Structure 1
Amino acid sequence: MAPPILCVDIGTSSMKGGVFSEEGEVLQLLRIPVADPGTEDFHRFDPTRWEEGFRLLVSRLTTSIPERIVLSGQGPTLIPVDREGKPTFFALLWLDGREDVVPGGKSLFLPKARWFQKYEGTAYHRTTHFLTCPEYLIRKLTGEVVTVSPSAEFDPYYWNREELDRYELPPDLFPPLIRPATLIGRVTKEGASRFGLSPNAMVYAGGPDYLMSLLGTATTRVGRTCDRAGTSEGINVCTPTFIQHSRLRCLPHLIPGLYTLAGMLSSSGRLFEWFRDLTNQRTLAYDLMMETIEALLPEVVRTPEKFPSFFPFAQLGNGWDFSRGIFVGLGTEHGKAELGFAVVEAIGFAVRSIVEELERVGCAIDILRVSGGQANNRLWNRMKANIVGKPLLVPRVKDAELVGGLAVLRTADGTFKDFDEAANSLVTFDELFEPAPPLEALFRERYERYKERCGRFIDALG
């Protein structure tokens, strides 16, 4: 039997690993926590946690040691490192707000480097390279210094000469750009010893986690839509043309000739973690919490006006962020379950608002292909379908980035002719959650009222 394939994705709160056979059979799935989204100070995140997380992940493998590895990860995140690959500062994470944007620039990464140059001069002058999230770990495994950009069309969103000149940053700090499915190198003796891998195991380029998730849900054709929900959430629809929109982000797809138009919810998972901490339910299983919340639905149907609503602070740009918020309509009769209902309804309404915006610009959305940590909760999937008003299609492997990584690797070795064929051959789905007409009608009415009130409360929050 051929050695298994290891696909790894570095998320904001956890590192996911999937071990697959050459035929695409799932041999093992792993998840290693690397941060607590409810309590983490993301301004002081130590990137060496990813090294420890990867070492722990490999130590828990119950299969034979993989000979081929593909890595993907979150972003836009930068890690400044010295000549030995050691961090000179904390990770500049995608969600920490540390950036200095130059008007007219496209790069999603260089604003962070410019901020670092401007405010952390001592560490900046010790920095030899800026590495993105998965490439930090690739450097530890292979010794190679690279950055994976999906395509030439995507390069300006990382960096190229024009963007570097615009930001007045030296090119030698930024590694050369390579493409997904590239064989980057082999695990060095040092890397093998540090992480418990075979020397000379081959390491392949994956790509940004959201694009791997699109492959891992077969969201590779016009009109298909993926709702990728973990610590953050993004609703991506495939379009045949570039669409400019002030509240949506359009980027090139990994599939040539396609684009992804997306609405971002940067805090949906963090919002629920905040609620767990607020109500002292940190140790309670998600399913039990959702059972309690879902059990309220018959009463919501009978007396909808008696239930509170939660209004998080909402950015009106291309993101939706939770930094402050207010509960409206709280009474002495309300407890944890009613507060939880208000929070999950608010998250669902945020998703619905993005779907509404996408449809307003001409993207017909019939089904949401869901992935990420939130997709593991069947009760939430069922309730979300009713709140959003769209069917939810759930893949067999919920951490779809892992199957996306497998699609990349199996394209690299010639098993499939391209990423689209690989994704549509490897991805399978387990369940379809369809909205129940009475509940969909209930939440449609509540959503319209919620929208009317939302603007007033956002203004009140300042």
Structure 2
Amino acid sequence: MGFTLGIDIGTFESKGVLVEDGGRIVAQASCSHELIVPRPGWAEHRAEQDWWSDFVTITRGLLGDSGIDPPEIRAVATSAIGPCMLPVDRDGAPLINAVLYGVDTRAGDEIADLNQAIGEATILTRCGNALTAQSVGPKILWFRRNHPELWARTGKILSSTSYLTFKLTGEQVIDHYTAASFSPLYDIARQDWCFDLADICAPELLPKLMWSTEIAGHVQESAAAETGLAAGTPVICGTIDAAAEAVSVGVNAPGDMMMMYGSTIFIILLSDTALSDARLWHAPWLFPGQHAAMAGLATSGTLTHWFRDQFASELPRDSAFAMLTREADASPPGAKGLLCLPYFSGERTPIHDSHAKGCFFGLDLTHNRGDMYRAVLEGIAAATRHIADTYAEAGRRPARVLAVGGGTRNRPWLQATSDITGLDQIVCEVTTGASYGDAFLASLAVGSAEPGDITTWNPGARTIKAERHVAYERQYPLFLKLYEQTRDIMAALDKGR
């Protein structure tokens, strides 16, 4: 009997599991960290203190709680938020805080300049993705332009998972799924780096490309001393957290869709052919020959945390969400005609608008906190429907939807999403998330599991059935219209800041 270790670094929390062959969790642990927002439109983490320190803390906790002898661990797999941009020096030390995924919108000028220089159609054709706040290439260019003295010291540009793998093994690698977000530096047809579209960085600054379950290296002595792992333990290349989440609930066939309820809503739909649509994202999947079409909101769970902190600060922190949920349940579908645009940090798919703003519209003196919280959940659900409709317009409808993430414990949010999108959702037995998917990927890498085994590791437990509500049918078109009719005001507000 052997074990695999999976650890995932999230936006606010990191989680880890030790899993026995066959999928039984023998130990799990978590720890939290902060999202750094030094100015509007920026989002950062500290790679050493937030990512690596969490990994060390969780690993030592798992080993201590389980009593497992470290050499019994067959392989280690990591995932983390992404795509991120982390420049490190020639010794691998971070030069700045990590610039996070699409919630960080600082590189707007660089996106415009690259689109002008290369051409949007060329970028979409060559890279499979339009340039958006999710793209790493413009953020690298932003760093080069704004920190020339640090740029001169840069040895590599890493992602979050790349950094963890480097700390464990000394190897600087990246998986294809993550690399596809480095537009315009990744050629989607060749599945390789490309440098002919723009002068952003030299080839030697980018990590080695690998598939997610390839062995990147082995735990080196220094990492073993810090973590308690056995030196020489295999470490796989790993991937972004959302992909590992999808694996954890059995997304493995064309037509399977994951809906992840985390700090953001993130959606992955597998297909047997590539999808080129500027409103969505595309990447090779974790294994050769498979494709994924992705979408994501900018704020979801983050917005519920903001609402709690601003409007329920008098409640005990550990029970605030339970009280807010009860209050939202007391509000009818449609929240008495109240609309919420959930664009509190710009928006990613499908509108790709860094100037988008959040708002409550339709407030009157009859509304209470429960109505407002319900409007937040329904606003996120309406933005999720906007994504689902975009998939349908692009010719991609899901055969089944699997829900995962901490937000699946929020019953009114989960139900509103099914009701507004019209999609039934399957919630699996194990809701641990990405770290569990990491452990499964590690098992695949060392041959102790086959791809289809995930259905026995984590079977479906319940289905959220979509219900019809007249209020939603009336209000969803108004939700879309509210954004369209205020987008110029949103942009003007940014100009005045």
1:261 matched to 2:293? The reply is yes
Whole-angstrom CA distance in 2 between matches of 1:180 and 1:263: 20
- The residue type paired with residue 232 of structure 2 is N
2:98 equivalent among 66, 87, 91: 91
Q: 1:295 aligns with which of 330, 344, 369?
A: 330
The alignment status of 1:340 with 2:367, answered yes or no, reads: no
Q: Which residue of the other structure, out of 463, 466, 482, is the alignment partner of 1:435?
A: 466
Deviations 1:4-50 (A, max 9, x none): 31101122222121210011112223232122489998545321121
Correspondences of 1:228-267 after superposition (within 5 Å): 228-267=260-299
CA–CA separation in structure 1 for the residues paired with 2:106 and 2:407: 27
1:174 correspondence with 2:206: yes
C-alpha distance 326-44 of structure 1, shift in aligned 2 (>3 A): closer
Deviation at 1:414, TM superposition (A): 2.2
TM-score, length-scaled by structure 1: 0.88
2:357 aligned partner:
324
User: Would the aligned equivalents of 1:235 and 1:355 in 2 still touch at CA under 8 Å?
Assistant: no
Rate the CA distance shift 1:355–1:151 in 2: closer, same or farther, 3 A.
closer
Q: Percent identity?
A: 23
Letter of the structure 2 residue corresponding to residue 396 of structure 1? E
2:378 equivalent to 1:351: no
Shift in CA distance, 129/154, structure 1 to aligned 2, threshold 3 Å: closer
Tell me the SS of whatever aligns to 2:198. helix
Distance 1:17 1:320, change over 3 A: farther
1:44/1:249 CA distance change after superposition, 3 Å: closer
Structure 1 residue matching 2:79: 3-state secondary structure = strand
Change (3 A) 1:245 1:148: closer
Which of residues 430, 434, 449 is equivalent to 1:401?
434
Q: Of the candidates 105, 109, 129, which is equivalent to residue 156 of structure 2?
A: 129
Q: In the alignment, is the contact (CA less than 8 A) between 1:292 and 1:337 conserved in 2? A: yes
In structure 2, relative to structure 1, the CA distance for the partners of 1:453 and 1:126 (3 Å cut) is closer
The answer to whether 1:20 aligns with 2:19 is: yes
Which aligned pairs between 1:378-457 and structure 2 lie closer than 5 A? 378-416=411-449, 419=451, 421-437=452-468, 440-457=469-486
- CA distance 1:213–1:45, change in 2 (3 Å): closer
Contact 1:312 1:323 in 2 (8 A): no
Where structure 1 has 5 or more consecutive residues not aligned to the other structure, the ranges are: none
SS in 1 for 2:389: helix
Whether contact under 8 Å (1:187, 1:202) holds in the other structure is: yes
Q: Greater shift after overlay, 193-202 or 315-324?
A: 315-324
| Offset, 1:408 | 2.0
Q: Quick check: 2:79–2:161 contact (8 Å CA) kept in 1?
A: yes
Q: Distance in 2 between matches of 1:453 and 1:164?
A: 41
Structure 1 residue 216 and structure 2 residue 248: aligned? yes
Q: 2:144 aligns with which of 107, 117, 124?
A: 117
Task: Give me the whole-angstrom Cα distance separating, in 2, the residues matched to 1:241 and 1:327.
Answer: 40
User: 1:59: how far off?
Assistant: 3.0
Quote the residue 2:310 is aligned against. Answer: 278
What residue number does 1:309 align with? 339
Amino acid at match of 1:88: L
Give 1:379 deviation, angstroms.
Answer: 4.1
Task: Provide closer, same or farther for how the CA distance between residues 164 and 175 of structure 1 changes in structure 2, counting only shifts above 3 A.
Answer: farther
Hey, what's the Cα distance between the residues in 2 that align with 1:154 and 1:447?
31
Structure 1 counterpart of 2:460, one-letter code: F
The 1:23/1:75 distance shift into structure 2, 3 A limit, reads same
**Per-residue deviation, 1:216:** 1.8
User: What's the CA shift for 1:152?
Assistant: 9.9
Q: Does the CA-based 8 Å contact 2:405-2:432 persist in structure 1?
A: yes
What is the distance in 1 between the residues matched to 2:196 and 2:31? Answer: 35
C-alpha contact (below 8 Å) 2:251/2:258 kept by paired residues: yes
Per the TM alignment, residue 70 of structure 1 is displaced from its structure 2 partner at its CA by 0.6
Kindly indicate whether the alpha-carbon contact (under 8 Å) linking 2:36 and 2:45 is maintained by their aligned counterparts in 1. no
Contact residue 83 and residue 178 of structure 2 kept, 8 A:
no
> 2:257–2:269: 8 Å Cα contact kept in structure 1?
yes
Mark the CA change 1:199 to 1:37 in structure 2 (over 3 Å): closer, same or farther. same
Report whether the alignment pairs 1:45 with 2:74. no
1:281-336: per-residue Cα shift (whole Å, max 9, x none)? 47243233112101212xx5xxx684422234465755476862222221223221
Tell me if structure 1 keeps the 8 A contact 2:5–2:442.
Answer: no
Are the equivalent residues in 2 in contact too, given 1:82–1:88 (CA < 8 A)? Answer: yes
3-state DSSP of counterpart to 2:99:
coil
Q: Alignment partner of 1:261: what SS?
A: strand
Q: State the distance in 2 between where 1:228 and 1:54 align.
A: 22
Segment of structure 1 superposing worse, 356-365 or 153-162: 153-162
Task: Choose 343-352 or 61-70, whichever is displaced more.
Answer: 61-70
Partner secondary structure for residue 437 of structure 2: helix
8 Å Cα contact 1:149-1:155 kept in structure 2: no
**Higher mean C-alpha displacement, 30-39 vs 377-386:** 30-39
Conserved 8 A contact 2:255-2:397:
yes
- Give the distance between the partners of 2:406 and 2:335, measured in 1 at CA: 32
Write the distance in 1 (CA, Å) between the matches of 2:19 and 2:434. 13
Per-residue deviation, 1:57: 1.0
Map Cα deviations across residues 109-167 of structure 1 (whole Å, 9 max, x no partner): 33222221111111111221111111211211222222222499899776445236633
User: Are residue 75 (structure 1) and residue 79 (structure 2) matched?
Assistant: no
Where does residue 8 of structure 1 map in the other structure? 7
Q: Does 1:370 align with 2:370?
A: no
* Mapped partners of 2:392, 2:453: distance in 1: 28
| Cα distance in structure 1, aligned partners of 2:6 and 2:173 | 18
Amino acid paired to 1:166: A
Distance 2:197 2:375 in 1: 47
**Structure 1 412/158 Cα, relative in aligned 2: closer, same or farther at 3 Å?**
farther
Which piece of structure 1 moves more, 307-316 or 188-197? 307-316
Q: Distance in 1 between matches of 2:299 and 2:391?
A: 19
The 1:231–1:259 alpha-carbon spacing in structure 2 relative to 1, beyond 3 Å, is same
Distance 1:85 1:77 in 2: 16
